Structure 1
Amino acid sequence: MGALNEIIFENRNKEYGAYKLREEYSLYLKKALLTGLGIFILLFGGAFTYLKYGKVKALDIDEGTTIDLTPEPKTPEKPKEIITPPPAKLEEPEPQNQIKFLPPEAKIDESVINETPPPGPEEMEKAIISDKTIKGEEVTSVFAIPPAPIETKIINIDQPMDDKPFTAVEQMPDFPGGLTELYKFLNANINYPSAAQKSNTSGRVVVNFVVNEDGTISNLKLLKGIGFGCDEESYRVIKKMSKWNPGKQNGKAVKVYYSLPILFKLE
C-alpha cells in the first residue's frame, strides 16, 4: 500500500493531507471492523444470556388449585303482581210492578185446579207482563208517547237570513271595466309607504269588504297584513274607489263579500 501511495504522490505535495489519509486508511478500516464486530458480539451475547437466564417466572399456582371462572348466577326477579281492580258494581234499577203470566198448558178437565187466578184488566194496565210477579212502581203507560211534531219553517235560500251578505252569487260584483281597470287604478293610486321601503318590506295584503246593492263599499276587514303602513295604505286606496257593479242573484242586486289582494313589491 505504501509503495502504491509513493507512486501516486510522486512529485506532489504530500503535506496537503490526502497522502496522510491514504496512509492511515487501512488502519481506520481495521478499527472500524473490530469495533463493529465487538458491538455485534456484545448485543448477540446479551440477548442470548437474557433469553436463557433472565426470563420472568410466571406466577406460581398449585397444580391442585382450580379457578372457577363461571359467572355467578343472577337472582331471578320476582314477577310483579298484577292487581285486578274489582268489577264495578252496577246499580240495579228499581223494580217495577210486574204480574206473572201463566202460559196455557193442556190438562184433563178433572185435574184442572185454578190455584192462581189470572190478572184482571185493571192490574194489567198498571204492570208489565213478565214470567213472575214483582211488587214495584206502577206503570202508567207501557208505550212511550211520541214527541210533538216540530213545526217546519220554509226559508228562502235566495236571500240570507238577517239580510247578511252573500259569499257567492250567480253574478259576482266587479270593478267598472273589469280586472284590467282595477289593476290600473291600484297602480296609479297606491303610494309605497316610506317605512316599508326603509325596512325592505314587501308582500301581499288581503282586504275583505262588502259590495252593497248600490255598488258602494263598506265593512272593510283585514284578512292578511304585512305592517309598516302597507295595511293602512290598502284601506285608503279601497275607500277611494268609485262604485262597483253590484253582484246579482236571480237577477236581483244583493250584498256580496269580496276579497281583494294588493301586492306591495320593491323594484
Structure 2
Amino acid sequence: MMWKNKLDIYEKEWLDVIFSSCNQNYGAYDLRCYASLATNKALLAVISVVTLLVCWKAAYDRMPKEVGAVTPERVVSVTMDMPVENDPPAKEDPLPMPESPAQRISEVAPAQELVCYVEPVIAAANRVTEDLVSNNQLKDKMSARISLKPVKGGSFVAKGEFGPKKAHGAITGGLTDDVPGGGGTSESAPFTSVEIMPMPPGGTKAFIRWVGHTYRYPDKALEQQIKGSVVVSFVVEKDGTLTDMKVVRDLGFGTGEEALRVLRKAARWSPGVQNGRAVRVSYTLPITLSSL
C-alpha cells in the first residue's frame, strides 16, 4: 500500500493543478489517478504468486518421492546333494570249513632224479660216451624243471605228491604296481559314499551360505532373466582340496563359469575316510538362480 504524505503528487488536488491547462481526458491524467490502485494490485499479485510458490514447494517436499526404476534383487539359492551314507554291513560269522588233511606246500621243488636224454651219436673210441637210457626208463622219470621265485602276494606249489594229495604244480598271485610291468587295482576313482564323509569348514550349511553369498549373478543372465539350476561336480581329494570341477548342466550367459570361479575360491575340506584312510570323494552341487 502507499503511505500517504504531504508530498504525494498523485492526489487529485495536485493533479488538477498540474493538468489545469491540459486536456484531463488524456491518458496521462487517468494513469496518474489510478497509479496507487494499480501499484497495490501489482503488489498483491506478486505476493499471491510468491505465496503459492512457497506453499507448492512445501507440499512437494512432503509428498513421497517418486520411485525410480528398481533393479531386480539378485537371489542365488544353493542346494547340495549329499551322498547317501551307507551303513557298513553287519559282520557275519564265517561258516565253519570242513576239516581236511593238511596239504604240504613247498616253494622249493623236492629233489627229483633227472634223466638227460641224449641222442646216440657215433663217436670215436677215445671219446667218453654218455650213458643212454631206454624209453621205458624215460617214462618213469620226471623231466627237469625250472626253479621260479615266489610271486609276492601269491604261492608256489611244486609238482609231486605231498601227503595224501597229488599236486600238479601251480603259481598263484597277481601283479602289483611294485612289480615292473605289472598293473594293480586302480585306486584313483573317487568314492560316492564313504564311512566318514568330507566336511567343509563350518559345516555344510555354512558352505551353502558362502556359495550363495559369493556367487555373482552374471549381468547377461540377469538381462535375459535366466532362471534355473546350474549343476557342477567336484572331487574332494585326500588332502581336502577341491579338484576335477566340471559343469554338469549349464544355463549359459556365464552362469557355469561363475559357479566354477566360486568353487576355485573354496577353502580346503576335511577329507573323507574309508577303512581308516583318506580317500577321494565326488560331490554334485546344484546352484539355483532366480531374480526377484
TM range (shorter): 0.3 to 0.5
The TM-score, its normalising length taken from structure 2, stands at 0.37
Which protein has the bigger strand share? 2
Larger Rg: 1
Higher relative contact order at CA 8 Å, sep ≥6: structure 1 or structure 2? 2
Query: Which of the pair is proportionally richer in helix?
Result: 1
| TM-score, structure 1 normalization | 0.40
